A and B are shown apart, each in its own frame.
Chain A
Amino acid sequence: MSAPRVRRAVAHFTFDGRRVPFEQGDTLGSALHRSGERVLSRSMKYHRPRGLYCCTGSCASCFVTVDGVPNAPACTTAAHDGAHVASQNRLGSARRDLLRIVDLAYPAGFDPHDAFTRPGVVNRLFVKAVRRMSGWGPAPRPGAEGGVGTRHEMHVDHLIIGGGREGLQRARDADGRVLLVEEQPRLGGSALLDPSEADTLALVEAAAGWDHVEVWTDTLAFGIYDGTVALRRGDDLWQLTADRITIAAGRHDGVPMFPGNDLPGILSLRGAKRLWYQHGVLPGERIIGHGAPLPARFVRDLEAAGATVVEQGQVTAAQGGTQVERVALGERRLRADTIICSLPGMPRIELFQQAGCELTWRGRLVPVLASDGATTVEGIHGALGGT
């Protein structure tokens, strides 16, 4: 797994009119990164350049408009032939957005609570202008979005949310009929990105032979309402009840805090691993590790592929025009195009909280779990594993 298998371009999409080749299994984000495009969107208020960070669809910094429908995460949206992809919220192009002037004109930040609030006529003009200059892309063209789906109801003995290592282990050991749902197209979770997780990959193989387990991939558990779990499968809504629900949804990546922490070229460790191990895209050429040391094997694999891990430590600032160019670690200044952040993640606590489970702070917010995984709500279990 040190050298991702050789692939070849299968087709093209366009990004702001430019042809971008992609390969089997590419997302829009991985294909754009391979083609050298780091700036995928502009931020809502200051029009700062933004790009990939988490590569799991969670951080909202890589939203693009696809065939007229806004706000698709480039990092998890599969590339498809002939797609018209456009960057959002810019005047000009993603790389040269004239509205960046807002960021440059207000280096210390712009506080809308007391700017241009009086007199009323100025405020009305200001609000009108701001609404044109900020936001989240154009409204979809009528008919561009998918249709209205079908609603289904179902009851299972055991519903397991999350098809990573924890979810797979719970499914293997469960009694009764199990439904295992995973939002990604494949089971395995982070193990798909980690050559050292062979045992989890073996579970993925084995799962196909478990008669008591039904697996639904590409299925998002998006909410728990009064004990009923709402699932999205394509355009369809599934309302599930279960004797037992196990939430094994994994974690969100931690984000770094230093000036310039939002520049394109700054990636979470998992995001960088996804680019390399899943898509065969080198995250960058001159790389700095931030936070905990990067896994030695990942460093070796990146360097074998021609990248240089220049330095590892605690980044104190990142600078660059539209992407990382210079990085400060204390007094030291280094030239680099990429920062990979190895930071503690936060468990995905959304569903636990919606279900009414008690949460507590142990360095980050976690559900209160008994030794057998029981939460404080009957019938709901949790599995955090290595999160």
Chain B
Amino acid sequence: MVEHRLRRANPGNVALIKTLNLAAQIRLRASWNDASGQIQSRSTFADANSGNAFIASPKVTGLSGQSGVLRLQLWKDETVSPSGEVGVPSDLNADVDVWAEWAFPLAPPAGLPWAGWIGKPSVEITATPDVGDDKNSFAGKRAKFRLRRHGSTVGSLPVRLSLDHTTITRPVAPGTPPPYQSLRALYGSPNGDYTLVAVSGTGTWAADSSQPSNATLGTATIADGQSELILDVVPVTDNLTEYNLIEARILTDPQQNPPRYAPGITKMARVLIFDGPLWTLLPLEGWGPSSETQSLGTAVNAGVVTAAGTWTVPPQIVGRVSGASGGGLWTAQSSTLSTVLGSSFIPFGISFRQNTSTKATVVGEREGRAYQILDDGTGGSSLPTVPSSWLPEGALAISPNANWTVGYANRSNGRIPALWIGTGTAVTAVNLTTTIVNPPVPIAGDAKAVNSSGVVVGRCSGLGVSSLPILRPFRNAGNGASLTIGDWLPVPTGGNGEGVANSVATAGGKHYAVGQFKLPPSSYLGASWTPADSQTLPSLPANLGVLYRNGTFDFQSEAKGINSSLKTVGWSGASSTDPNRRAVIHNGEWQDLNDQHFIHVSSGWILQSAEAISDNNVIVGVGVLSGIQKGFILVPRVNGN
């Protein structure tokens, strides 16, 4: 019956055991915890010494009608040592002395016969794994309670469980006073936090009530022939930020004469269910050892993903990578570099793929020329030079449908916005500024993005009536139209007119832009522009603010990307080169993508800037992984990841 043998608690203390003077008096004590947790110690021993063997036959009395944990302890009684050592005889040193624990089965109450009591098992509970993901319904990601009975597996065995929690609260918002929001785990659905489901074939689970409660009772029945019942902890998927500790405890069998089981040594187990992240974080690995490779994700397309999370056409990411190649392409399925795009090519944009048989076009800069190449690394060619301008030129973005590419050329005052119409060999280059009539100041700027409707956004001076060469955010009239003097975008209140529109997206037939504006003295803040009523082009500015952390808003922010769901990403921090800046997403206010709500917090990562977001919410950007600049992909989580 006794499966737990006397053992050393700490194998590292072998030397101390070996110095035990066998001439010394050895004491053996049996103590036990009764059902109420009281420590009892009543024992008598019959012992026999034979050579080096010491055999003890303990008889523990007074356990009738009880079950619990019996502990046997063996130690040297130094008060009676022949060497006269001074010690504390009644203390067991768990590091030195030996002990064993045994979950003892029932004994009948005094006066009752043993018949019917013999062979009733002790039951223990553990939790493996003991952490569950609230955002992942994949069974393999669930925490599990495991009830194990010792001894015979004949017949099913109902075991009473109580489900409780530790009280965890938090302020409703950082810095706000009580009352706090309770994060306690409540059993039941739909308003609770989790339910238990028995793994098929191992048994059943029945809660006394399915209504959410602070303390829930239920019966877990270990199936006939099974020694173990596995209970899946199934979190109720919701949008709450949670961190819940569930405590399952084996209760004594309410059937007392005789009970069908006894709670064993381990009669309580805890499970943590937490608010699983929304994205899976993958590094953009480069060419060579990952620990040495720097990379930077700059753009991503949407690909096509099924509802079950399978990529039909995986989103593709382009960016920079150090080592053997300058430009690289990855897919959202893997960190591994998929395609090397050229040693002197710096990619900035990628079009969409309509299906698996089409290729995306990647655009960027190569040796001072705007350049395009297909996603498999073939068909690379420089785009035609922009009329009435000179090199260097560069392509900064391409529309999802690949009809439009935008970027910059150069004139005497520096960069000017440029547009390339078409792809492949039939491309026409356009100076977007030749239609600005009588500009009040010299023209300079660049085009940052374009959507499939040919709506171009960027920044440019010479727009409006100001006598200052202010670089203002702009949008054209769509369909690849060249700029006019009135195409500038107003900035939010407090701004001086400076700004840039970095990205443009289409939703419901309307076009939306995001970027940055200057709030004097020198604070640049994220901005968005939405269409006015009955309009389709972006015009109404909004201040997106900055990230709030540690009681203070950051100094600056920038919106870098927007998708067709109008989700906006960017960075927030002291500056665009601040090593402590954070990749952020805007949900009414900027939120830190480093938060465990969004990603599994992984040591060594700081996500510094989110550069783009696809229509299916794949985010790419750059951060630092163990001190190395590293591009990242955030893939929306589905079952199993």
Q: Do A and B come from the same complex?
A: no
- Chain A residues packing against B (C-beta within 8 Å): none
